[in-house]
Homo-oligomer: A and B are copies of this chain.
Amino acid sequence: VPFALLTDFGTGSIYVGQLKGVLAALAPGHAVVDLTHEIEPQAVDEAAFLLARTFEVFPPATIFLCVVDPGVGSAREILIVEGSERRFVAPDNGLLALAIERLVEPRAFRVGAAHYHGASATFHGRDVIAPVAARLAGGTPPEALGEPVAPGDLAPSPVARPRAEAGGRRIRGRVAHIDRFGDLVTDVDANGRRLPARVRVGGHEVARAARTYADVEPGTVFTYTGSFGTVEVAARNGSAASALGVRRGVEVEVEFAFAEERRG
């Protein structure tokens, strides 16, 4: 049973170390994988996007511990969600909203009050989520750890979904993530069969589309279908975020052309 960790603690934070210490103590012998700890502080929407776009590369039985939790210590619940042979433990703040849509037969549970006994008021990742995940890894079923709740009753996604216009050829979305290279990752699905033609973002219009970095000249800002399956904007050998002055969360408008290489 691998554990996968997704937090906004910052990589190498002592908080990550403590999570792993608890897992080593309560569920020894399982692999622990850092999915990422570089979620922007308290950015539940970024966590929701990245989790939904990456959890499927992990093997069945993986237990995801997701801790982006600005409401820690308040009345917000902690959830166990299972589906598609994977399990997730996270606060009920929308972090799981996008992943749940991709699960086959998702089931959700609210962790029972007994599991908060003795917990600190500010670090439920260590004191509640990790111990609950360890119980799951040890074979305790979610039914024994909390009450079932209908997926429709969970907190919704913290940001609006991309919306289509012009018969689906134009889609408005957001910059959901910016990576280390300054590539802008949008939440606009490329659906595999369409090449983005034009992207408007931060007052700029990016009209150059290409398949990969090597297809454009150094410095060129261009759009392409990224590895998350969504539209991205990059500058070859540079940072699109710096070149365009764009930050995470800004709106984008994508126009699609039906390119020659379209499939199906």
Contacts of A33 in B (CB 8 A): 17, 20-21, 24, 32
Q: Decide: A71 near B214, CB < 8 A? Known: A33-B24, A59-B24.
A: yes
| Cβ–Cβ contact B126 & A212, under 8 A | no
Contact of A174 with B by CB under 8 A: no
| Cβ–Cβ contact A58 & B9, under 8 A | no
Which of A108-116, A144-152, A223-231 faces chain B? A223-231
Contact of A101 with B by CB under 8 A: no
For the side of the interface on A, what is the size category?
Answer: 35 or more
Contact of A77 with B by CB under 8 A: no
Q: How far is the CA of A214 from the CA of B72 in the complex (A)?
A: 7
| Cβ–Cβ contact B24 & A58, under 8 A | yes
Contact of A84 with B by CB under 8 A: no
* A73 CB contact (under 8 Å) in B13, B35, B214: B214
Which of A158-166, A177-185, A240-248 faces chain B? A177-185
* A54 CB contact (under 8 Å) in B17, B38, B62, B74: B17
Q: How far is the CA of A217 from the CA of B50 in the complex (A)?
A: 29
Contacts of A72 in B (CB 8 A): 212-214
Q: How far is the CA of A24 from the CA of B4 in the complex (A)?
A: 10
* A17 CB contact (under 8 Å) in B25, B35, B76, B179: B35
| Cβ–Cβ contact A225 & B179, under 8 A | no
